[in-house]
Amino acid sequence: MTHWIILPVVLPAFLAPFIVLAARFHINIQRTISVAGGLAMVAIGAALSWQAADGTVTLYQLGDWAAPFGIVLVADRLSALMVLLTAVLALFVMLYAIGSGWDNRARHFHALFQFQIMGIMGAFLTGDLFNLFVFFEVLLIASYGLMIHTGGTRRLRAGVQYVLFNLLGSTLFLFALGSIYAETGTLNMADLAQRVQLIDPSATVGIRVAAMLLLLVFAIKAALVPLHFWLPSSYAEAPGPVAALFAIMTKVGAYAIIRVYTLVFPPELAVTSGLHEAWLLPAALISLAIGMVGVLAARQLDRLVAFSVIGSMGMVMISIALFTPEALAAALYYIIHSTLAAGALFLIADLVRSGRRNLDLVAQPPVAGAALTAGLFFAAAIAMAGLPPLSGFLGKLLILDAAFDSAHMRWIWAVVLGSSLIAVVGFSRAGSVVFWKAQSLRPDPDAAPDTPAPPRPAVLSYVAVGGLIALLVAHTVLAGPATRFTAAIAGQLFAPDAYLSTVLETPGKLSDYEAGADDYGSGTHGADAATDEEGH
Amino acid sequence: MEFLVASAIGVLTATGLYLVLRLRSFPVIMGISLLTYAVNVFLFASGRLTVGAPPILGDATSYTDPLPQALVLTAIVISFGMTAVVVMIALGAYLGADDDHVNDPPPPPDGTTPAEDAQ
């Protein structure tokens, strides 16, 4: 059995306490450990993707317990890709945090960062729904600490909202898990996929409620309208590098929806047919529209970027909601793109903030290093708004193409194209006010000369932002191989037999027990599901 | 017993939801706590209610499902920790702003960032 697959969880879990305990007062040692860990994670992510590229599903049984009884980690193409994406984003965000000095403004940035990585990686790799909940909590509790890093009243206040909203989401998640367990007697995703098939078609109330509750939870994480209210304030008030790392957190929700609603509740499943399809697409369309209108209406640059994240999640969800292999491949291409673009934009907003007092969209004297920052903003905004030549345009094209045969094609095309126009106007307004009009303002000679000019941002900050932009360019240039890979992922998701057989048929402790457990599982639970539901 | 457990979950959830919809942080945190109690009982009940049976498989004719008990234990630990975190953050926000509303403060009329704590 290969132990590689658990490394993305175990490595940060070791690094974080080591940073707290051994390197507490030595910021340089912390930075070295963090960057080394980040590089190692990229290498592991690349290795896992390489291993999964040919379609092998790698299984890791914790404690060698066989699948439905023990916890398993599973790396298929989708998980491996998400792990690699997280590792790459985290590395660049880490470099930016070091370059801008954010990590030294308060304690424990690096330790919390590692714990956050651990939670995200675990959520991508786990093959068990309850374990998914646990990793969600790990990544959330680390994110609470990162979100209020360096404190400040406004940040704490936004932090309270963020924590409360996510606590409610966690409670809903537990309700959903309890309902699923009561209906099926298992929480292992592969086992669940098989048992859901066996549910009596006349007693589907419980499992339908559970499927909707679960969708609600993941929609909160993915910030789908009307569950997006936590996002703008918390992302805008969070420190720049933290907001950039949070760009992957909404994708955790999208990943969970893709995983659960292709594996456990696939679209052709009769028990839950017509449930999430009815809700997901309208919510996604409204998210895209609201997000891009928010881009136009925002009065601060960081809120503008936060709303563009909501819009891009709407775009991803439109594509996911179609539930066809082509649409899913397009969604995955767009997920990679929007994670990198949103990360870059949050970092650029922080670059701008470091030279100005605030991020209000009003003309202020130009900041140090404005030309380079403006150029980077220009590139990232083009990517986010989906203009050619960068990958946002290609992703959008793929989504439109995948929606061509859909019954709702008119709606999808109208909203996608209309919102793109609004986003272009919003981004160009912001860019021209912040960077262009600033050139027409002469510095006020009477302005207090004792306030020192803010220093130029460090070179490392530009390296980090430039690296993300370069990745966007690479994502565009290598769109052919990238789309082939995402199409392979979608193919694997819609043919889950390899996943199921790997998880359920790999021998381990207790694996001979499965044959005798049938009377305990779906049979009894399915039969009394109807009577139980009246009790709830 | 089923009625008792079900109504306990229902009352806890309803009270929790009402409190969560309040505007100040203390009732909201109380509401979250009540909701987590409700969900803990709910999880416990998801393995079917059994009285006086061992939580093991063996030669016993009846047994109680041990897995929900493990799940509840995890959920209790997590919700306990999370509640502590949110109390600390809410306290920090209250002491900083002298105001414990959980909604966004109203922006100045021109929509700019308040100067005193722009950072």
Establish if A156 touches chain B: CB-CB under 8 angstroms.
yes
Count the domains in chain B. Answer: 1
CATH number at residue B86: 1.10.287
In the Cβ-directed half-sphere of A247, how many Cα atoms lie within 13 Å? 35
Instruction: Please say if the pLDDT value at position A357 is more than 80.
Output: no
Grouping H, G, I as helix, E, B as strand and the rest as coil, residue A73 is strand
Residue A452: is its pLDDT beyond 70? no
pLDDT (0 to 100) of residue A447 = 55
Residue A1 has pLDDT above 60, yes or no: no
Number of C-beta neighbours around residue A477 at 10 A: 12
Cβ of residue A157 closer than 8 Å to a chain B Cβ: yes
Nearest CA in chain B to A164: B86
pLDDT at A311 over 60: yes
Chain A nearest-CA residue for B79: A167
Kind and range of the H or E run holding A475? helix A459-477
Q: Tell me which of B118 and A26 has the higher pLDDT.
A: A26
Q: How confident is the model at residue A521 (pLDDT cuts 50, 70, 90)?
A: very low
Q: Are residues B92 and A156, on separate chains, in Cβ contact within 8 Å?
A: yes
Q: What percent of chain B has pLDDT over 90?
A: 47
Res A291: pLDDT = 94
Taking contacts as CB-CB distances below 8 angstroms, the residues of chain A near B79 are 167, 170-171
When mean pLDDT is compared across A14-18, A231-235, A267-271, A287-291, the lowest value belongs to: A267-271
Q: Is A152 on the interface with B (CB under 8 A)?
A: yes
- What confidence tier does A464 reach under pLDDT thresholds 50, 70, 90? very high
Q: Which of A144, A175, A357 sits opposite B89 (nearest CB)?
A: A144
* pLDDT band of A519, cuts 50, 70, 90: very low
A386 contacts: CB under 8 Å, gap ≥ 6: A392, A393, A395, A396, A420, A423
| Mean pLDDT calculated for residue range A333-357 | 91
Which of B82, B95, B110 has the most A C-beta neighbours within 10 Å, making it the best mutation to test the interface with A?
B82
Dihedral sign from CA coordinates of A269, A274, A278, A279: negative
Provide CB contacts within 8 A for A145, sequence distance 6+.
A108, A112
**Predicted pLDDT at A533:** 38
Cβ pair A347, A244 in contact under 8 A: yes
Residue A427 near residue A374, CB atoms below 8 Å: no
Phi-psi region of A286 (alpha: psi -120 to 50; beta: other; left: phi over 0): alpha
Which residues are CB-contacts of B10 (< 8 A; sequence separation ≥ 6)? Answer: none
Mean pLDDT in residue range A480-487: 94
SS3 content of chain A, % helix, strand, coil (to 5): 75, 5, 20
Task: State CA A168 to chain mean position distance.
Answer: 19
pLDDT over 70 for what percent of chain A? 92
Q: CB-CB: which of B71, B81, B118 is closest to A357?
A: B118
Residue range A85-99, pLDDT digits in tens = 999 999 999 999 999
Nearest to A233 by CA among A154, A292, A312, A293: A154
Ramachandran area for residue A26 (φ above 0: left; ψ -120 to 50: alpha; else beta): beta
Distance (Å, rounded) from C-alpha A15 to C-alpha A501? 34
Q: What is the pLDDT of residues A150-192, one digit of tens each?
A: 888 888 888 999 999 999 999 999 999 999 999 888 899 999 9
Contact present, A398 and A385 (Cβ < 8 Å): no
Write down the pLDDT at residue A169: 93
* Cβ separation A299–B119 shorter than 8 A: no
pLDDT mean across residues, chain A: 87
* Res A320: pLDDT: 93
The average pLDDT across A511-532 equals: 45
Instruction: Record the pTM.
Output: 0.91
In the predicted model, is pLDDT for residue A273 greater than 60? yes
Give me the residues paired with residue A59 across strands. Answer: A74
Distances (CA, A) of B52 to A447, A524, B61: 80, 20, 12
In a domain? residue B26: yes
Identify whether B14 is part of a domain: yes
User: Could you count the other beta carbons within 10 Å of the beta carbon of residue A217?
Assistant: 28
Residue of B nearest to A155 (CA): B93
**Surface-to-core class of residue A202, CB atoms within 10 Å of its CB (0-12 exposed, 13-18 middle, 19+ buried):** exposed
Tell me which DSSP letter residue A60 carries. Answer: E
Using pLDDT thresholds of 50, 70 and 90, give the confidence band for residue A268. confident
Domain of B30 in residue numbering reads as: 2-49+66-101
Instruction: Report the C-alpha gap between A377 and A469 in whole angstroms.
Output: 10
Question: What is the rounded CA–CA span in Å between residue A77 and residue A54?
Answer: 8
Residue pLDDT, tens place only, A193-210: 999 888 888 888 889 999
pLDDT on residue B117:
46
Q: Which amino acid makes up residue A425?
A: V
Nearest CA in chain A to B69: A178
Inter-residue contact A53 to A92 (CB < 8 Å): no
- The predicted-structure confidence for B10-25, as pLDDT tens digits, reads as follows 999 999 999 999 989 9
Q: Is A168 in contact with B20 (Cβ distance < 8 A)?
A: yes
Chain segment B23-56, per-residue pLDDT in tens: 899 999 999 999 999 999 999 888 888 887 877 7
Band (pLDDT 50/70/90 cuts) for residue B111 is low
Tokens 């969604």, located at residue: A331
> What integer best gives the mean pLDDT of chain B?
85
pLDDT over 70 at A529, yes or no: no
- Displacement of CA B48 from its chain's centroid (Å): 22
**DSSP code per residue over A329-378:** HHHHHHHHHHHHHHHHHHHHHHHHHHHSS--BSS--PPPTTHHHHHHHHH
Q: Are A241 and A100 in contact (CB under 8 A)?
A: yes
Task: Take residue B34 and report the two structure tokens written for it.
Answer: 């009540």
Q: Specify the range with the lowest mean pLDDT, choosing from A63-72, A255-264, A316-325, B48-57.
A: B48-57
Within the 401-430 window of chain A, which residues sit less than 8 Å (CB to CB) from chain B?
none
CA distance A161 to chain B (A): 6
Q: What is d(CA A490, CA A329) in angstroms, rounded to the nearest whole number?
A: 5
Distance of CA B29 to the CA centre of its chain: 8
Top residue of A115, A141, A163, A229 to mutate, by most chain B CBs within 10 Å, is A163
Chain B residues touching residue A181 (CB < 8 angstroms): 43, 46-47, 67-68, 71
A153 touches chain B (CB under 8 A): yes
Whole-number pLDDT of residue A511: 67
Mean pLDDT value of segment A400-415:
91
Residue A249: CA atoms inside 13 Å, Cβ hemisphere, count?
Answer: 30
pLDDT tier at A536 (50, 70, 90 boundaries)? very low
User: DSSP code of A515?
Assistant: G
Q: Examine the pLDDT at A289 and tell me if it is beyond 80.
A: yes
* pLDDT for B119: 41
Note the pLDDT of residue B32. Answer: 94
Q: Kindly give, in sequence order, each residue whose CB lies less than 8 Å from that of residue A317, ignoring residues fewer than 6 positions away.
A: A222, A224, A254, A257, A280, A283, A284, A287, A331
Could you give the CA distance from residue A147 to residue B58 in angstroms, rounded to a whole number? Answer: 49
Angstrom distance (rounded) from CA A503 to CA A492: 15
Q: Band of the pLDDT at A476, cuts 50, 70, 90? A: very high
End-to-end alpha-carbon separation of chain B, Å? Answer: 56
In a domain, B106, yes or no: no
DSSP A185: S
C-alpha to C-alpha distances, B23 to A160, A220, A413, A465, nearest whole angstrom: 12, 20, 40, 39
Q: What is the largest CA-CA distance in chain A?
A: 86
